[in-house]
Amino acid sequence: MGDDISSLFTNCLDPKAHPDYEDLSKLRVSSHFLIRRDGELIQFVATNERAWHAGESELCGIKGCNDFSIGVELEGTDYIPYTEMQYQKLTHLIKELKQYYPKISNERIIGHCDIAPERKTDPGPVFNWQQLFSLLTTGDR
C-alpha cells in the first residue's frame, strides 16, 4: 500500500491513483494510530480527540464508538497474517495507553468487526487474539 494508507487516514487519498480509491475518497476516515507491517507506529489524532475510525458502531448498547474509543489500525488485510512486529508494537502501545487510561481492560480491546459487524470485518480471522492477550498478560517476549 505504501503511503496510500497514510493518505487515507489524513483524508488526502488521490481518487485517481487507483480504481478502488474513488469510493474511498468520499469517506471521512481517520485513526488515532496506525501500525505498519514493519512495526512502525504512526499517530494521526491525539488520544483525547475524536477520530473517525469506527463509523456507525455500537458497544454494550452505546452507539457512536468514535466518541469514546481509541482507534488503532493495523496495516494489512483480513487474510494475510499480521507480522510479529505489529503484535509487539500493538502490545507496547496498549500497555502505554493503559497507564493513561485505567478503564482500558483486556475485555475492552476489540476489533471493528465487534462494534460494526454489518460493515467491518477487521482485523479479520487471521488476527491472533490469543497471542495479543498472552503478550499483554505475560509481557513482551
Q: Tell me the CATH number at 55.
A: 3.40.80.10
Known catalytic residue: 73? Answer: yes
User: What is the side-by-side strand order in the sheet with 72-74?
Assistant: 41-43, 33-35, 72-74
**H or E, element range at 92:** helix 84-100
The residue range of the domain holding 85 is: 31-138
Residue 50 lies in a domain: yes
The domain total for the chain is: 1
pLDDT in tens, the chain (141 residues): 568 888 887 878 888 888 888 877 777 788 999 999 999 999 999 999 999 888 889 999 999 999 999 999 999 988 999 999 999 999 999 999 999 999 999 999 999 999 999 889 999 999 999 999 999 998 544
Query: Residues 49, 56, 73, 107: which is the catalytic one?
Result: 73
Rounded (10°) CA dihedral 45, 50, 52, 54: 120
- Evaluate if pTM is beyond 0.85: yes
